[in-house]
Amino acid sequence: MTAPRAFDPDALAASLPRPRGRLTPMRPLADLSWLRVGGPAELFFQPADAEDLRAVLAAAPEGLQVTPLGVCSNLIIRDGGLPGLSVRLGRAFAQVRVEGERVIAGAAALDSHVARAAAAAGVSGLEFLRTIPGAVGGAVRMNAGCYGAYMADVVEEIAAIDRAGRLVRLSAAEIGFAYRSSDLPPDLIVIEATLRGAPGDRARIEALMQEYVARREASQPVRARSCGSTFRNPAGYSSTGRADDVHDMKAWRLIDQAGCRGLRRGGAMISDKHANFLLNVGGATAADLEGLGEEVRKRVFENSGVRLEWEIARIGVPAPPGAAGEGIAGEGAAGQGAPGAPAARVNGS
């Protein structure tokens, strides 16, 4: 039986300040997900700008869950959908500007666009962003990286809006970066990041980005519906691409050794090309994808004794039995990240 909702979406929308952006009750999310799965958001908010976002969050009732959504390139949204208020930043948060060796990027700016902007200005050190799917806000939150470089290496500061609608600024040290994670609270909405590079030769920067693109296309199923790497490497670092890179404790190797390459459940499949890629090959549900991932974790543990940790975030609630995708299945949501937050500098009220 479906649990009662803590808030009625239509009544909640009517009670909030009229935003200049869009506030939509029960907005389907599957079309926004790279995996094309997931139930609706009880209340879906696309703010016009930072002040619009602050006003709505400040007025939102205590206890209302707030979930920031980027371009959903690293998410499995469960079939029952997302309770509470889901926030997706749009064009107003996608601006990129270069000031000397610093690149100031809105949280909705695509990682690849940031890399290109830095290259055009002769700023090196951000080339790794060229092949990372998604946008800056998500890249900060999960400390995205590849080929031996991470967001932790280049982030100087971020601006964000907290659950109370306050503007906060956090230094890199306050973000608490770790391998594929950070200490940012799950309801903190990153709106901008200041990244620091170094002077470089534009031609060399662009050549390195093209090399990264070629490597990715050669080794990963880039044309398939996936969210990139499914599990974190137990080695504790991403592949460097160097000749001396050791693969013994890489997730793909452990998955392969457990016989999971090509494994399927419903429309979900472990890629034949790269064993750490979980694909929707047609008609998969979120339950198919998450269930297949859990089966892989089980087989890897039985084979090697290693417990793989998810790199893809799983958020929302499952659909009630026999009603996948029909609506919100409960009040809470799993997979929202660890609680707690670093100390923040608060600007405004």
Q: Which residues are catalytic?
A: 180, 229, 311
Contact partners, residue 91, CB within 8 Å, separation at least 6:
108
Q: Distances from the Cα of 188 to the Cαs of 222, 297, 329, in angstroms? A: 30, 30, 24
Identify the DSSP state of 115. H
In whole angstroms, give the CA distance from residue 97 to residue 80. Answer: 39
199 class by beta-carbon count within 10 Å (0-12 exposed, 13-18 middle, 19+ buried): exposed
How far are the Cα atoms of 43, 47, 64, 313 from residue 86, in angstroms, in the given order? 6, 11, 10, 15
Distance CA 77, CA 290 (A): 10
Q: How many CB atoms lie within 10 A of CB 221?
A: 16
CA 301 – CA 286 distance, rounded (Å): 23
